[in-house]
């Protein structure tokens, strides 16, 4: 199990606290420093069952600079979104946990963290 976090994020710190309280074995990835590649982002999206715009933080300053709210949200625009996430990892919603069963969850609540833990 791996969790993508930004240590400055309260939801990330909360997710790590739940993992620790449950005695989970996991690896921390500080994704702002260890930036995921486009292929890694595609793989996580597949595991999440989501599209890149579903995990994009559109309120970030860089999102506004890029005009993301105006970008098309369709198959032909998917690669453009993934490139933006790889080039500007701050845009990636957090925390993301890749579960042991091959799935993943955006773990913004304690229940979502526990859901990831229950996936064997």
Catalytic residue list: 9
Token pair 């304690």 is at which residue? 110
For residue 11, give the 3-state DSSP assignment: helix
N- to C-terminal Cα separation, the chain: 10
Length of the chain measured in residues: 120
Torsion sign (Cα): 16, 18, 20, 23 = negative
Q: Taking a C-beta distance cutoff of 8 angstroms, is the pair 91, 56 a contact?
A: yes
């Amino acid at each position: 199990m791996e969790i993508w976090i930004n240590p400055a994020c309260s939801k990330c710190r909360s997710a790590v606290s739940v993992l620790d309280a449950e005695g989970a074995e996991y690896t921390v990835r500080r994704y702002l420093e260890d930036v995921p590649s486009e292929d890694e982002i595609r793989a996580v999206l597949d595991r999440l069952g989501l599209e890149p715009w579903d995990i994009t933080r559109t309120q970030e300053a860089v999102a506004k600079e890029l005009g993301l709210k105006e970008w098309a949200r369709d198959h032909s625009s998917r690669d453009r979104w993934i490139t933006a996430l790889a080039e500007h990892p701050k845009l990636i919603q957090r925390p993301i946990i890749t579960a042991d069963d091959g799935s993943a969850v955006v773990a913004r609540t304690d229940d979502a963290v526990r859901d990831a833990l229950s996936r064997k």
